[in-house]
């Protein structure tokens, strides 16, 4: 319990828009421990990005409402923080990297400047009053650029984001996110826009740096295979609900929830007969405006029972460290 | 580029329009204006309390009162009746200018933008010439050349008006051109003409519609200015701009003769501006996320 | 044999002017040049009722290749043959006669359908080039709409009323309306959720069974391409580096890039973490492709020969071609 870096407890998020009231997240419970990488997996509309934004305090106001729940970080509830307090935390204690670094890096500043800003803040919080262009900051910037594998850091510092390729920009983003040595890094689909060969490099980089800095990671992806490469634990989400959570080995060897099983089954297998039918899930992911009552997966579930259309199952521990939200496993 | 207009869209747009007080004012005034114009064309003088051309020196220079809402002018004519009777003139001028400009400009601009290359370059240079000259100056020059009369006011303004829509349409066509559904149409073997007609034009409408609505107010304003300058509608036909001009000399002892028609012009132009503004917000996808 | 083929490409080259593009490579060198060598000499052939998969990463030119084959872009040089007849220099009007047999399904189901056209009109559009008979068109639209798994009462809806997977079905229906002989698919499932991908891929396979249509299946997702194809061609920086039957190529890749690509695919198995090979560096820009073998800057087996002389595609085993001076041993 004291090992926990972030505790999300019973969090619900609702969007009130012009076109109606959407339940983006329903009673989410998840804990991230020290030096742990949690993979958050789900398809569109499942709420994984919403969860990350909620932790960062970046949900669109005033449309996003949080009717219940808490997010505990370093002993305090982030939901009760003022904007100013959140600003203190962002980029330093909790950092975030995104899918498309071109839109998250300021095009008007060189990457050297942007990295310097982060490092200056970190040093200042440690009590050292340095200027952003001081030698000490510059040394650290160069150090970090080497660590993320950017060649020729001296001249790279003077360049602007658009002068780099996607993979290199992502490395810059990672440097910025980790230079402040945060306790928690949120990564929202950081490799989805990259080539598969670049993805290998970036995943390895993240894993090694994160253990050096001793940060925890919430790694969000729609791709279970990517998550398999990097996560210690995996949480599967569907239509605003967490349906299963377990260690990465458990999830792949012993998936319990029908949705998780179906996701795993839909990967083309290596040994299979070519051009055979893939196992697919009938129907489609529900529109956030029309989430089915009861268990949101029930219309597509081959094991659905009558009770599934009326009662939403709770996330319960099935075996130590393995939680699932499905009536199939209700021991009562 | 465009948002498809179906029933759900229309109800969302109406809801947005209802919420903003300014836009309600805009819609209200614009509606009154249009309805009055149509009514005058149907019922003529019967609609108004007094004969707009009736001279009666006995009641000249009367300030606004219960009997004469807007007062009377130097010849004793009821200004309210004259304002009402004059409404359709500016309405017709305003709408004609905008509608014809939209038609000419959109078609030419869409084609030019879609075809690209030398055709587009040449077309751009042509519109540059027109846009370089201030619209009002251009309109005045053309109107003077053509002579007085309402049709000439329309034609004079058209000259300077259409290039703006051509530019707008061209910009829309340029970005639509790269869309995947246009590529899909090419792959299907659809002729270039049909692509422009069925794909480019319908998707280009939204920004043009918004701008056109805003523009009607401007067109009415320009029409009034031309009439003020003596071009356009001739006396004894009542026309707002003309009324402003004629009443100028009496500003000291009969301010209402000039100012009130001026306020009417202002109110109507403002109304269309507000309406156009509200429409633009209504179409803006970010605004709707609320 | 390839003279009887459906589609043949001979030396297709498609270059674009670089328009002042300028950026820095990962070694810190300034990259600038006059031309983007998007497709730089490709020979391919495709027979009836088969699927050729084209695999490659960003900058390899596969999308440009697709658009060149459809003659949405004119190749800078080279020849294109469809059904034995050269189509490289046909006019827009003459091409329109061929189009019903050569269709395409695009990547993004959200922008490949005109938002202002109803589903039935979207599908009817390619048919209007072929026939004026309204009744015939209506019948065919309904027929193909139901074949892709949609309900007739949705025909009047606009694209934004459908989900991503359903929109892709409409796109598939549109491509099939004219009963084409060849359909090019450019990343048809990349923008869809994983659970829908499988549905769409299954649909595509069913349709191929039914219509005996050929597919040119382009994707960066090697796993998906492998599943759908009979043969695969691997592209790197505008050239085909390896080409062959899918079973052979996947289990015994002969080109180092192919081997690296295959092993980079993340497997849904945490125990297999150590198995992903890491390729050095990043793909160079197509503005300034490396000399000799384009892959030599990243290849662990490169020698001086590789940077001097460009390897040509050679047949190693029956039907399996590789462009490499030192093909991998099996």
What confidence tens digit (pLDDT) does each residue in B72-86 have?
Answer: 888 888 888 888 888
Contact B92, B150 (CB under 8 A): yes
Q: Which residue of B has its CA nearest to A17?
A: B290
Asked if C268 lies within 8 A of A155 by C-beta distance, the reply is no
* Closest by CA position to C107, among listed C201, C233, C219: C219
Which residues of B are less than 8 Å from C91 in CB distance? none
Distance from CA of C150 to the nearest CA of A (A): 11
Distance CA B201, CA B222 (A): 28
What percent of chain C has a predicted confidence (pLDDT) above 70? 95
Inform me whether the C-beta atom of residue C95 falls under 8 Å from chain A C-beta atoms.
Answer: no
Contact C52, C233 (CB under 8 A): yes
Asked if B290 lies within 8 A of A19 by C-beta distance, the reply is no
Asked if A19 lies within 8 A of B15 by C-beta distance, the reply is no
Q: What residues of chain C, 205 to 224, have a C-beta less than 8 Å from chain A? A: 205, 220-224
Q: For A273-287, B162-176, B246-260, B261-275, which range has the lowest pLDDT when averaged over its residues?
A: A273-287
Summarize the confidence of residues B115-137 as an average pLDDT. 89
Distance from CA of A222 to the nearest CA of C (A): 8
- Where in chain A are the domains? 257-332
Q: Is the pLDDT of residue B4 over 60?
A: no
Distance from CA of C13 to the nearest CA of A (A): 24
What percent of chain A has a predicted confidence (pLDDT) above 90? 32
Tokens of residue C130, six digits: 């072929």
Distance CA C178, CA B188 (A): 9
Q: Which residue of B has its CA nearest to A64?
A: B290
Dihedrals phi, psi of C287, to nearest 5 degrees: -75, -35
Average pLDDT across chain C, whole number:
88
What is the CA C97 to chain-centroid distance, rounded? 23
DSSP 8-class letter at C329: P
> To which H or E segment does residue C321 belong?
strand C320-322
Q: Which chains touch C (3 or more CB pairs under 8 A)?
A: A, B
Distance CA C83, CA C124 (A): 25
Q: List, as own/partner pairs, every contact residues A244-249 make where C-beta atoms lie below 8 angstroms and the sequence separation is at least 24, other chains included.
A: A244/A322, A244/A323, A244/A324, A244/A325, A244/A326, A245/A30, A245/A315, A245/A322, A245/A323, A245/A324, A246/A321, A246/A322, A246/A323, A246/A324, A247/A321, A247/A322, A248/A39, A248/C270, A249/C270, A249/C271
Distance from CA of A130 to the nearest CA of C (A): 29
What confidence tens digit (pLDDT) does each residue in A82-126 have?
Answer: 888 888 888 889 999 988 887 788 888 888 898 898 888 888 888
Tokens of residue A211, six digits: 């253990």
Q: Is the pLDDT of residue B287 over 60?
A: no
Domains of chain C: 2-322 (3.40.50.300)
Average pLDDT across chain B, whole number:
85
pLDDT at C104: 94
What is the CA B72 to chain-centroid distance, rounded? 29
Average pLDDT across chain A, whole number:
87
Q: For A36-40, C30-34, C293-297, which range has the lowest pLDDT when averaged over its residues?
A: C30-34
Q: Which of A155, A164, A268 sits opposite C23 (nearest CB)?
A: A164
* Closest by CA position to A288, among listed A5, A45, A10, A43: A45
Q: Which chains touch B (3 or more CB pairs under 8 A)?
A: A, C
Provide CATH code, domain B7-288.
1.10.3720.10
Which residues of C are less than 8 Å from B4 in CB distance? 115-116, 158-160
Distance CA B239, CA B81 (A): 11
The size of the A-B interface in CB pairs under 8 A is 14
Q: What residues of chain B, 218 to 237, have a C-beta less than 8 Å from chain A? A: none
pLDDT at B154: 86
pLDDT at B3: 45
Summarize the confidence of residues A272-279 as an average pLDDT. 70
3-class secondary-structure state, position A270: coil
What confidence tens digit (pLDDT) does each residue in B22-51 have?
Answer: 778 888 888 899 999 999 888 888 888 888
Contact A201, A142 (CB under 8 A): no
Q: Which chains touch A (3 or more CB pairs under 8 A)?
A: B, C
Distance CA C280, CA A197 (A): 9
Summarize the confidence of residues A256-285 as an average pLDDT. 79
Tokens of residue A320, six digits: 């130590």
B116: left (phi over 0), alpha (psi -120 to 50) or beta: left
Q: Which residue of C has its CA nearest to B4?
A: C116
DSSP 8-class letter at C274: G
Q: Which of B4, B185, B189 sits opposite C158 (nearest CB)?
A: B4
Distance from CA of A271 to the nearest CA of C (A): 10
Distance from CA of A30 to the nearest CA of B (A): 29
pLDDT at C28: 59
Q: C7 pLDDT band (50/70/90 cuts)? A: very high
Choose the mutation target among A112, A156, A196, A289 for the interface with C, i.e. most C CBs under 10 Å. Answer: A196
What percent of chain C has a predicted confidence (pLDDT) above 90? 55
3-class secondary-structure state, position C253: coil
Dihedrals phi, psi of C36, to nearest 5 degrees: -95, 115
Asked if C103 lies within 8 A of B187 by C-beta distance, the reply is yes
pLDDT at B106: 93
Which residues of A are less than 8 Å from C268 in CB distance? 224-225, 228, 252, 264, 267
pLDDT at B290: 43
What confidence tens digit (pLDDT) does each residue in A116-157 have?
Answer: 988 888 888 888 888 877 888 899 899 999 988 887 888 888
The size of the B-C interface in CB pairs under 8 A is 71
Q: Which of B187, B198, B203 sits opposite C104 (nearest CB)?
A: B187
Q: Is the pLDDT of residue C175 over 90?
A: yes
Which residues of A are less than 8 Å from C282 in CB distance? 165, 167-168, 198
Asked if A152 lies within 8 A of C227 by C-beta distance, the reply is no
Q: C68 pLDDT band (50/70/90 cuts)? A: very high
* Closest by CA position to C183, among listed C105, C73, C109, C107: C105
pLDDT at A44: 80
Q: B98 pLDDT band (50/70/90 cuts)? A: very high
Tallying the residues shown for chain C, one arrives at 330
Q: What residues of chain C, 114 to 173, have a C-beta less than 8 Å from chain B? A: 114-117, 125-126, 128-129, 158-160, 171
Inform me whether the C-beta atom of residue C273 falls under 8 Å from chain A C-beta atoms.
Answer: yes
Asked if B12 lies within 8 A of A17 by C-beta distance, the reply is no
Distance CA C275, CA A204 (A): 12
Q: Is the pLDDT of residue B61 over 70?
A: yes
* Closest by CA position to B160, among listed B112, B90, B226, B88: B226
Look up the ipTM and state it. Answer: 0.83
| Helix and strand numbers, DSSP H then E, in chain A | 11, 12
Asked if A152 lies within 8 A of C266 by C-beta distance, the reply is no
Distance CA A228, CA C222 (A): 18
Which residues of B are less than 8 Å from A19 in CB distance? 12, 288
Q: What residues of chain B, 14 to 73, have a C-beta less than 8 Å from chain A? A: 15-16
Radius of gyration, CA atoms only, chain C: 21
Q: What residues of chain B, 162 to 201, have a C-beta less than 8 Å from chain C? A: 179-181, 183-192, 198-199
What confidence tens digit (pLDDT) does each residue in B228-272 have?
Answer: 888 877 777 888 888 898 888 988 888 888 999 999 999 999 999
Dihedrals phi, psi of A74, to nearest 5 degrees: 55, 40
Which residues of A are less than 8 Å from B288 in CB distance? 17-19
| Helix and strand numbers, DSSP H then E, in chain B | 12, 0
Asked if B188 lies within 8 A of C125 by C-beta distance, the reply is yes
What confidence tens digit (pLDDT) does each residue in A231-259 have?
Answer: 999 999 999 999 999 999 999 999 999 99
The size of the A-C interface in CB pairs under 8 A is 144
- Where in chain B are the domains? 7-288
pLDDT at C21: 62
What confidence tens digit (pLDDT) does each residue in A53-63 have?
Answer: 999 988 887 78
What confidence tens digit (pLDDT) does each residue in C177-236 have?
Answer: 999 999 999 999 888 888 788 889 999 999 999 999 999 999 988 888 888 999 999 999
pLDDT at A290: 81
Q: C330 pLDDT band (50/70/90 cuts)? A: low
Q: Is the pLDDT of residue A81 over 70?
A: yes
Contact C208, C237 (CB under 8 A): no
Distance CA A285, CA C1 (A): 46
Q: A2 pLDDT band (50/70/90 cuts)? A: low
Asked if B2 lies within 8 A of C116 by C-beta distance, the reply is yes
What confidence tens digit (pLDDT) does each residue in C159-171 have?
Answer: 888 888 899 999 9
A283: left (phi over 0), alpha (psi -120 to 50) or beta: left
Distance CA A213, CA A207 (A): 10
Residue C64 burial class via C-beta count within 10 angstroms: exposed 0-12, middle 13-18, buried 19 and up: buried
Which residues of C are less than 8 Å from A47 in CB distance? none
Distance from CA of A14 to the nearest CA of B (A): 13
């Amino acid at each position: 319990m004291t090992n926990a870096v972030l505790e999300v407890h019973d969090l619900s998020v609702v969007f009130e828009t012009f076109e109606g009231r959407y339940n983006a997240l329903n009673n989410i419970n998840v804990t991230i421990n020290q030096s742990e990488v949690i993979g958050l997996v789900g398809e569109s509309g499942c709420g994984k990005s919403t969860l990350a934004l909620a932790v960062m305090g970046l949900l669109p106001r005033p449309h996003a409402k949080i009717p219940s729940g808490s997010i505990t970080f370093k002993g305090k509830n982030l939901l009760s923080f003022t904007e100013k307090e959140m600003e203190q935390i962002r980029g330093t204690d909790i950092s975030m990297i995104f899918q498309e670094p071109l839109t998250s890096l300021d095009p008007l500043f060189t990457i050297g400047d942007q990295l310097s800003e982060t490092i200056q803040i970190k040093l200042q919080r440690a009590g050292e009053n340095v200027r952003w262009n001081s030698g000490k900051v510059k040394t650290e910037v160069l150090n970090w650029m080497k660590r993320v594998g950017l060649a020729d850091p001296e001249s790279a510092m003077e360049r602007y984001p658009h002068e780099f390729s996607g993979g290199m920009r992502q490395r810059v983003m990672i440097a910025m996110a980790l230079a402040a040595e945060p306790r928690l890094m949120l990564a929202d689909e950081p490799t989805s826009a990259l080539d598969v060969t670049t993805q290998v490099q970036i995943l390895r980089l993240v894993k090694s740096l994160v253990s050096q800095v001793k940060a925890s990671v919430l790694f969000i992806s729609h791709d279970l295979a990517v998550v398999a490469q990097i996560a210690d634990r995996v949480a599967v989400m569907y239509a605003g609900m967490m349906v299963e959570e377990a260690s990465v080995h458990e999830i792949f060897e012993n998936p319990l929830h029908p949705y998780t099983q179906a996701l795993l089954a839909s990967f083309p297998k290596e040994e299979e007969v070519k051009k055979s039918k893939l196992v697919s899930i009938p129907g489609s992911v529900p529109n956030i405006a029309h989430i089915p009552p009861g268990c949101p997966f029930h219309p597509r579930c081959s094991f659905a029972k009558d009770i599934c259309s009326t009662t939403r199952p709770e996330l319960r521990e099935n075996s130590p460290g393995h939680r699932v939200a499905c009536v199939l496993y209700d021991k009562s | 580029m465009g948002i498809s207009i179906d029933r759900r869209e229309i109800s969302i747009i109406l809801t947005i329009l209802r919420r903003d007080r300014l836009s309600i004012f805009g819609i209200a005034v614009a509606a009154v204006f249009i309805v009055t114009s149509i009514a005058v064309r149907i019922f003529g003088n019967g609609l108004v309390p007094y004969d707009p051309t009736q001279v009666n020196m006995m009641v000249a220079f009367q300030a606004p009162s219960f009997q004469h809402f807007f007062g009377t002018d130097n010849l004793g004519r009821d200004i309210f009746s004259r304002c009402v009777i004059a409404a359709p003139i500016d309405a017709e001028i305003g709408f004609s200018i905008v509608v014809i400009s939209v038609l000419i400009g959109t078609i030419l601009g869409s084609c030019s933008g879609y075809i690209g290359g030398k055709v587009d370059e040449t077309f751009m240079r042509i519109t540059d010439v027109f846009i370089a000259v201030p619209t009002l100056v251009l309109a005045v020059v053309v109107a003077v050349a053509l002579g007085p009369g309402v049709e000439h006011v329309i034609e004079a303004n058209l000259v300077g008006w259409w290039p703006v829509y051509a530019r707008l349409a061209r910009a829309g066509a340029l970005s639509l051109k790269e869309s995947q559904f246009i590529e899909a149409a090419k792959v299907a073997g659809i002729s270039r003409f049909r692509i422009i007609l069925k794909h480019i034009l319908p998707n280009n409408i939204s920004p043009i519609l918004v701008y056109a609505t805003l523009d009607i107010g401007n067109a009415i304003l320009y029409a009034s200015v031309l009439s003020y300058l003596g071009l356009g509608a001739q006396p004894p036909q009542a026309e707002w701009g003309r009324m402003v001009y004629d009443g100028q000399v009496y500003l000291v002892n009969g301010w209402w003769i000039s100012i009130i028609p001026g306020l009417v012009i202002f109110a109507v132009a403002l109304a269309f501006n507000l309406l156009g503004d509200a429409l633009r917000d209504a179409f803006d996808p970010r605004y709707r996320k609320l | 044999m390839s003279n009887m083929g459906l589609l043949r490409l001979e030396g297709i080259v498609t270059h674009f002017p670089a328009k002042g593009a300028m950026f820095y490579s990962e070694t810190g060198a300034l990259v600038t040049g006059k031309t983007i060598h998007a497709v730089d000499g490709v020979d391919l052939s495709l027979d009836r009722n088969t699927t050729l998969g084209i695999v490659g990463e960003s900058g390899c030119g596969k999308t440009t290749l697709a658009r060149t084959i459809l003659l949405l872009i004119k190749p800078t040089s080279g020849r294109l043959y469809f059904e034995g007849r050269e189509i490289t220099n046909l006019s827009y009007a003459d091409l329109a006669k061929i189009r019903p047999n050569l269709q395409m399904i695009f990547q993004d189901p959200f922008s490949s359908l005109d938002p202002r056209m109803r589903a039935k009109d979207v599908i009817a559009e390619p048919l209007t080039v072929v026939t004026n008979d309204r009744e015939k068109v209506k019948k065919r639209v309904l027929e193909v709409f139901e074949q892709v798994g949609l309900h007739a009462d949705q025909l009047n809806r606009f694209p934004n009323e459908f989900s991503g997977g359903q929109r892709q079905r409409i796109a598939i229906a549109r491509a099939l309306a004219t009963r084409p002989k060849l359909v090019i698919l450019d990343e048809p499932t990349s923008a869809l959720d994983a659970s829908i991908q499988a549905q769409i891929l299954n649909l595509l396979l069913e349709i191929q069974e039914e219509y005996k249509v050929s597919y040119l299946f382009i994707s960066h997702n090697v796993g998906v391409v492998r599943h759908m194809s009979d043969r695969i061609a691997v592209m790197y920086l505008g050239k085909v580096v390896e080409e062959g039957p899918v079973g052979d190529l996947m289990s015994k890749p002969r080109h180092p890039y192919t081997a690296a690509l295959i092993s980079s695919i993340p497997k849904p198995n945490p125990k297999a973490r150590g198995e992903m090979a890491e390729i050095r560096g990043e793909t160079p820009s197509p503005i300034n492709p490396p000399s000799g073998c384009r892959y030599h800057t990243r290849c662990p087996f490169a020698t001086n020969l590789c940077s001097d002389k460009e390897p040509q595609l050679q047949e190693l085993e029956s039907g399996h071609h590789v462009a490499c001076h030192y093909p991998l041993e099996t």
